[in-house]
Amino acid sequence: MLLRMSSLFLRTLREDPADAEVPSHKLLVRAGYVRRAAAGIYSWLPLGKIALENVTRAVREEMDAIGAQEVLFPALLPREPYELTGRWTEYGDLLLRLKDRRGGDYLLGPTHEEMFTLMVKGEYSSYKDFPVILYQIQTKYRDEARPRSGILRGREFVMKDSYSFDLDDAGLQKSYDLHREAYIKIFDRLGFDYRIVSATSGAMGGSHSEEFLAPAPTGEDTFVSCAQCQYAANVEAVQTRLPQVEAAGEHPPVEVLDTPDTPTIEALVEFLGQPASAMLKNLLVKVTEGGVTSVVVVGVPADRDVDMDKLEAVLAPATVEIFEAEDFAARPDLVRGYVGPHALPGDVSYLADPRVAQGTAWVTGAGQVDKHARNVVAGRDFTVDRYVDVATMLPGDPCPRCGGPLSLQRGIEIGHIFQLGRKYTDAFQLDALGPDGKPGRVTMGSYGIGVSRIVAALAEQAHDDKGLIWPREVAPADVHIVATGKDNQIQVALDLAQRIEARGVRVLCDDRAGVSPGVKFTDAELIGVPTILIVGKGLAQGVVELRDRGSGQREDLPLEEAVDRVTGLVGRPS
């Protein structure tokens, strides 16, 4: 492959796009890889298409290597199968729905469990047919509420989704392990820094669901890891180790304090000079179940927040809404910023983090404006109706496995492997007749890789202030040849490009006439091909310059050695 900048459909930009918040979005637009078509919907320009194809190839090869078979489903899907599993409704606004000319209901597939299960049911029926792993690399749709972050979280995106079908749990575990190994190979090939974290709660870190996260400050997921025992999990999956309840001695009685203008924890911390960990943060929510809405207060130590996702999961199937200003207005007996568990109206129940253990004393609101109370003791001054594990985590929290201190990091989900079990095979009654002629319910795994997201996730990890720095497997070319001079440099560069390309190396050659060396260098750094070869002033002395985009290392070398050196760096068979 030899791309010439003089004809490549590419315009780099010097300014960040106005709507871009994260580095990958800024750089992929500026370097001419993608363009916005609508909110959360992107077009891929030639360089971007090549990078996307490089990721696709790596994913496909490793999936084929574990015996997975490639199929292709439509994106436009009928309602019925999704109605049967309840997902037509459960997906809510995330699902893009439409009607055809006859009024039939369709959706744009967000994921294809239903279709794969139906397909296997249509073809297979005997124990002899299993196991089977099927996959596709295909366009998916999710109507994100706030599509942002460019292609990191788009509304139309490319995914590899695969599904395993096994006769029993041992088979499922084997299919799961095959995927786990394949994913490790894929993400290693792609040059990722990644972690495999448990996505299932359980103190022992049950392996029936794991996520592959690429650490990045812009990641939407947070995960914990333990340096002591290698435990790693998405915070959503961590089961907090119940702290030892200190059977503390006597506490003084409740004392009400004047704390003018302290409706926030920050204000209170400053006013009292005490740490937030000694205070209670009391979050009010409306919980609706069976058509009845009640007010619930959730208390956590004030150096933490309530994780709304965890709270929703704990209270499901009830729905949870934040108590808004108008709700406070309707309940003058609940004073915003000064709520305390010992001063709650009788119809309000109190949930609390396990750290709010019996016998512990807290600073908390006193139920009146500008008043707080201290020495408010759980079990003595208020009752916890239910303990719930919904507090956000802090660095240093104890590892649920070994008790060692956990560290917290943000990451981008690039892969997810999941032992689904029989949810979908039950819904569609997918059975395999055993050797004894009796039907057995098939068990399933589902496994996803965000193919288009990977391009952005790599960009998040691999860039500097000058631009992108691609791992070679994903880079749109192996070497970027820059011809700078005015004389015969362009012709020499093109000759070199052809000779290097003849060795099986992918070359991008900046053969533009009338473009300054400065612009060409800036573009090369922005585009991020890992090896840069400069044909410039040194040519008069028969010298070209080799630069490593990542390390910045530079080296002059004789023109006649350039082909061998570049080919050797790339390590491709000629």
Residue with tokens 């299993």: 130
CA distances from 126 to 78, 116, 167, 170, 368 (A): 27, 17, 10, 18, 70
Q: Which two tokens stand for residue 281?
A: 């943060």
CA distances from 219 to 233, 399, 453 (A): 15, 22, 12
> Burial letters for 93-106: b for 16+ Cβ neighbours within 10 Å, e otherwise?
eebbeeeeeeeeeb
Q: Where are the beta strands (DSSP E) in 436-494?
A: 439-441, 443-450, 463-464, 467-468, 479-483
CB 136 within 8 A of CB 161: yes
The alpha-carbon radius of gyration of the chain (Å, integer) is: 29
Tell me how many residues contact a second copy (CB under 8 A).
52
Residue with tokens 């009607």: 99
DSSP secondary structure of 151-205: GGG-SEEEEEEEEEEESSHHHHHHHHHHHHHHHHHHHHHTT---EEEE-S-STT-
Q: Which of 2, 16, 35, 265 binds a second copy (CB under 8 A)?
A: 35
Closest distance to a second copy from the beta carbon of 353 (Å): 34
Distance CA 455, CA 471 (A): 11
**Residues 74, 76, 79, 84, CA torsion sign:** positive
Toward a second copy, which CB reaches closer, 78 or 404?
A: 78
Considering only 33-41, 207-215, 280-288, 301-309, which stretch makes contact with a second copy by CB under 8 A? 33-41
Q: Which of 8, 59, 373, 430 binds a second copy (CB under 8 A)?
A: 8
Considering only 137-145, 320-328, 388-396, 549-557, which stretch makes contact with a second copy by CB under 8 A? 137-145
Considering only 41-49, 176-184, 368-376, 560-568, which stretch makes contact with a second copy by CB under 8 A? 41-49
Pairing status of strand 105-108 against strand 96-99: antiparallel
**Secondary structure class of 364 (helix, strand, coil):** strand
Q: Is 156 in the site for a second copy (CB under 8 A)?
A: yes
Pairing status of strand 507-510 against strand 479-483: parallel
Q: Which two tokens stand for residue 406?
A: 């956990």
Type of residue numbered 99:
K
Strand partners for 479: 507, 531
Q: Is 2 in the site for a second copy (CB under 8 A)?
A: no
Toward a second copy, which CB reaches closer, 139 or 288?
A: 139
Closest distance to a second copy from the beta carbon of 206 (Å): 30
Distance CA 220, CA 460 (A): 12
Closest distance to a second copy from the beta carbon of 295 (Å): 28
Q: Which of 17, 84, 88, 132 binds a second copy (CB under 8 A)?
A: 132
Considering only 118-126, 180-188, 272-280, 313-321, which stretch makes contact with a second copy by CB under 8 A? 118-126
Q: Which of 2, 75, 257, 348 binds a second copy (CB under 8 A)?
A: 75
Q: Which of 19, 21, 61, 67 binds a second copy (CB under 8 A)?
A: 67
Query: Measuring CA to CA, which residue among 296, 402, 310, 304 is closest to residue 356?
Result: 304
Q: Is 70 in the site for a second copy (CB under 8 A)?
A: yes
Closest distance to a second copy from the beta carbon of 425 (Å): 16
Toward a second copy, which CB reaches closer, 342 or 512?
A: 512
Toward a second copy, which CB reaches closer, 51 or 535?
A: 51
Toward a second copy, which CB reaches closer, 9 or 332?
A: 9
Considering only 4-12, 15-23, 269-277, 325-333, which stretch makes contact with a second copy by CB under 8 A? 4-12
Distance CA 570, CA 574 (A): 10
Q: Is 434 in the site for a second copy (CB under 8 A)?
A: no
Q: Is 469 in the site for a second copy (CB under 8 A)?
A: no
Considering only 34-42, 280-288, 460-468, 478-486, which stretch makes contact with a second copy by CB under 8 A? 34-42
Q: Which of 2, 71, 272, 276 binds a second copy (CB under 8 A)?
A: 71
Q: Is 85 in the site for a second copy (CB under 8 A)?
A: no
Toward a second copy, which CB reaches closer, 353 or 510?
A: 510
Type of residue numbered 341:
P
Q: Which of 61, 65, 76, 486 binds a second copy (CB under 8 A)?
A: 76
Closest distance to a second copy from the beta carbon of 512 (Å): 10
Q: Residues interacting with a second copy, by CB under 8 A?
A: 7-11, 32, 35, 37-39, 41-46, 48-49, 52, 67, 69-78, 93, 96-98, 100-101, 104, 106, 108, 115, 119, 122-124, 132, 134, 139, 141, 143, 145, 155-156
